[in-house]
Amino acid sequence: MTHSRILLNFFQTSLHKKILLIALPMILSNVTTPLMGLVDTAVLGHMDGAHYLAGASIAALVITQVYWVCGFLRMTSTGLSAQAKGSNQADENNKSLFQGILIGFVLAGIILLFSSQILSAGIYFAQTSSQIETIMSEYFSVRIWGAPAAMANLAIIGWLIGQQAAKKVLVIQICGNLLNVVLNFWFVLGLGLEVYGVALATVISEYFIFVTSLLVALQVLGKPMLKKQWFSLANLTPLFSLNANTFIRNLVLQACIAFLIFSGVGFGTQAAAINAIIMQFFTLIALGLDGVAFAAEALVGEHKGKKDHDGVVQASLHGLVWSTLLAVAYSLVFYCWGMEITGLITDQTSLQLAMQDYMLYVILLPIIAHWCFYFDGIFVGLTRAKAMRNSMIFSGLIIYFPSFWLFSDHQNQGLWIAMLLFMLSRGVTLGGYFSHLCQKRLVAV
């Protein structure tokens, strides 16, 4: 495709509309989960003792981290589903869904098998009182039984995103979260089940989302079918390889984030609190940028399934416009009202004053981070997990940790300088490799 044709096709209204039809529902879906999580916190916070909130929150964090590491299943399911949609092959569409669900159940089995070790590790790292440990164990012992549904949901929701059924995903998530809220109030305030009730409400909601999303997926398929050969080792090996590379990518990312958090604690209480505040800004950024990345996953994957090189390039360029605009909007909001947002997060004057020294990093965060968010979405759509793995390993081992050592005199600020360079490296390496693939016309191969 010539440069003039690229520019001519750059203003395809239909493609911009497609991006927004996927991105906006996914952004709204992302927003609902933390909002509903506030209800859990509010219910726990009104119990007779702070140990209920502390214990349940820590246990929920442990489970969330395990599920987050398994998020590779959502990513691979989206890419394979989008490509199957693009190729218009019913067999591939069915296979991508049911293989993903199988992998989800396998992961859930592993989680349940090692559940006692996971809980022990969480208690060990929490280093808390016996009273809080008891609450952690009570919450965890109930909540962990939602693992089969939670893992299968990763596969099914990912598959639906790949099918560009973002509105359906939004409705499912909202209904599941609202059910969780209703059950929370009923079990805790009505039946007096306390922590057990909070955990049980979440588990029931997870199974509700599983059943609902599966029914919706079967409806999208129209004529669902199962073939025995899909589940043979030969058929599953490429999927295991794809998931393994994405898993390694997630582990490296998690290690870098954990290093920042624990190193911040080593710099003192104020540094740890500052990092927690900046991570809240990061969460706000992710709510929006993830939505655009999801759109890239679905549309890039669809065009790869069609073996449409020019379509991949156009979908990528159009999506990049929205990712960039959203990143600039975030930075402008943080530049204008960053300290006001900080005031909503904490009312401690000392922390508000200390955040003034970090506001530059907060303002730069969206502009720098959106590249790695977005190119991750492109490579998920292309199912090029090795490239994502290699970029993450290079950016972590060659850029992030050496950068912190280089800027270690800046202590906690050095951590954020290294984190920004880490995210920049991920965006540059993936963007550079994508440009190489485009030049060689290999993106749709």
How confident is the prediction along the chain (445 residues), in pLDDT tens digits per residue? 555 555 556 566 788 899 999 999 999 888 776 666 666 666 776 666 667 777 887 888 888 889 888 999 999 999 999 999 999 888 889 999 999 999 999 999 999 999 999 999 888 877 777 888 888 899 899 999 999 999 999 999 999 999 999 999 999 999 998 999 899 889 988 888 888 898 899 999 999 999 999 999 999 998 888 888 888 888 888 888 899 999 999 999 989 988 988 888 788 888 888 888 898 899 889 989 999 999 999 999 999 999 999 999 999 999 999 999 999 999 999 999 999 988 887 778 888 898 999 999 999 999 999 999 999 999 999 999 999 999 999 999 999 999 999 998 898 999 999 999 999 999 999 999 999 999 999 988 8
What is the pLDDT, as a whole number, of residue 10? 57
As a whole number of angstroms, the distance between CA 319 and CA 157 comes to 21
CA 302 to chain centre: 21
The residue length of the chain stands at: 445
As a whole number of angstroms, the distance between CA 60 and CA 69 comes to 14
DSSP per-residue codes, 65-115? HHHHHTTHHHHHHHHHHHHHHHHT-HHHHHHHHHHHHHHHHHHHHHHHHTH
**Residue 388 to residues 66, 378, 426: CA-CA distances in angstroms?**
20, 10, 9
What is the pLDDT, as a whole number, of residue 344? 83
Looking at the chain, the number of H-run helices and the number of E-run strands are 18, 0
Instruction: Give the tokens for residue 330.
Output: 């975030």
Instruction: Give the tokens for residue 48.
Output: 């007779």
Contact 53, 232 (CB under 8 A): no
By CB atoms closer than 10 A (0-12, 13-18, 19+), residue 345 is middle
Provide the whole-model pTM: 0.90
As a whole number of angstroms, the distance between CA 226 and CA 87 comes to 19
Contacts of 356 (CB under 8 A, 6+ apart): 339
| Amino acid type, 338 | G
What is the pLDDT, as a whole number, of residue 218? 95
What is the pLDDT, as a whole number, of residue 347? 79
Place of tokens 């604690």: 265
